[in-house]
Amino acid sequence: MTDMAHIDTHHHFWDLQKFAYEGFPPEGTVLCQNYLLPELERAIAPTPVKHTVFVQVQQSTYEENEWVLKLAESSSTVVGVVGWVDLTDPEVGTHVDKLKVHRKFCGIRHLTHNEPDHNWLLREDVQRGLGVLEEKGVPFDLLLKPPNLPAIPALAKAFPKLKFVINHIAKPLIKDGVVEPWRTDITKCAAFPNVHIKLSGMVTEADFSSWKIEDIQPYASHIISMFGAERVMFGSDWPVCLLASDAYSKVHRTYYDLAVNAGCTPADLRRIFHDNAKEFYGLHVE
C-alpha cells in the first residue's frame, strides 16, 4: 500500500440523543449507538486514512449542518462536510450562502433514492435548486439505486458545470449477482465528464455475513474502467459498513485491493485515494 495519506470521502456521524433519525438506524444492529469523532479516529487509526469527508444523514432539519460544521472546525481529521438543503425551497440560495461561509463546507446531498418518484431529480422545482448549486459552484452527491440511474444522463446534460458524484456505485444488487440494467445505465452516466463516482458502499450491498472480494470485483472493475481513475474516489461509508464488516480497516483494505485488482497503477491509486477527493470537493489538505 502506498505511503500517501488517504482521504475517505464518505462517512457519517449520528447522535441518537441529539436527533431523531426517521427509520434509522435499523433496530438490533451494531448501528444502534452514537458514532462520533472519537469513534471515527479510533477506526481509521490502523489505516493510511488521515482525512475524511462527512456526508449528511438528516434531511428534515438544518441543525445537522451546523452541528457537524462546528465539530469539523476543531478537527484535523474531518476536512469536508457535505450537508443538506431543501432543493425545492425558493430560498435555497440563502441557505447555501450560509453554509458557504464555512471553510469546510464542500457539497450537498439529498436522499434521492428514498423519493417515490424515480425521476425526482428531473422535477422543475428540484432543478431550480440544482441550478443554484451550479451557479454557486457547489458539488452534488447523488444517492441512488439502479432505478434512479436512467435520469442521470439528462441531469448531467442539463447542468454541465455542476459536478455530480454517484454514491455507493448506485447500490447494484451485488448479493444477488444482478448486473443489468445497472451495468448499462452506469455506463451511460460515465459518458458525462461532470459525473464522478465513489468506490464505496459495496460491502453492504453484498451478503453481510458471507461476502468475498470476488463477489464485488466485477462491479468495481466496471466502474473504474468506465469512469477512469480520474473520476473515482474512495469512501468507506463508515459506520454503515460495520453491518458487513467488524473493522473499518478491513473495508478500507478491500476497496484498495479492488482497485489494484482492476489494474490501477500507483498513480491511479493516488488519484482514487487522495487527489480526486481533494480536487472534487476543494479540500484544504496537502
What's the rounded mean pLDDT across residues 140-156? 98
Identify whether the C-beta of residue 108 lies closer than 8 Å to the C-beta of residue 138: yes
272 has pLDDT over 70: yes
Quote the CA–CA distance of 84 and 138 in Å, as a whole number. 11
- pLDDT, mean over the chain: 96
How many CB atoms within 10 Å of residue 253?
16
176 has pLDDT over 90: yes
Q: How far is CA 142 from CA 78, 81, 165, 212, in A?
A: 21, 15, 6, 26
What element of type H or E holds 39? helix 37-44
How many CB atoms within 10 Å of residue 275?
18
The residue written with cell numbers 454557486 in the block is: 136
Confidence of residue 21 (pLDDT cuts 50, 70, 90): confident
Phi, psi of 107 (to 5 degrees): 175, 175
Phi, psi of 261 (to 5 degrees): -65, -25
**For residue 221, how many C-alpha atoms fall within 13 Å in the half-sphere facing its CB?**
11
pLDDT value of position 27: 83
- Classify 87 as helix, strand or coil: coil
Question: Roughly how many angstroms between the first and final C-alpha of the chain, as a whole number?
Answer: 19
20 has pLDDT over 90: no
105 has pLDDT over 90: yes
DSSP string, 125-194: HHHHHHHHHHHHT--EEE---GGGGGGHHHHHHH-TTS-EEEGGGG---GGGT--TTHHHHHHHHHTSTT
2 has pLDDT over 70: no
Angle between helices 213-227 and 248-261 (to 10 degrees): 60
Q: pLDDT, tens digit, for every residue of 156-171?
A: 999 999 999 999 999 9
154 has pLDDT over 70: yes
83 has pLDDT over 80: yes
What's the rounded mean pLDDT across residues 31-40? 96
231 has pLDDT over 80: yes
What's the rounded mean pLDDT across residues 194-203? 98
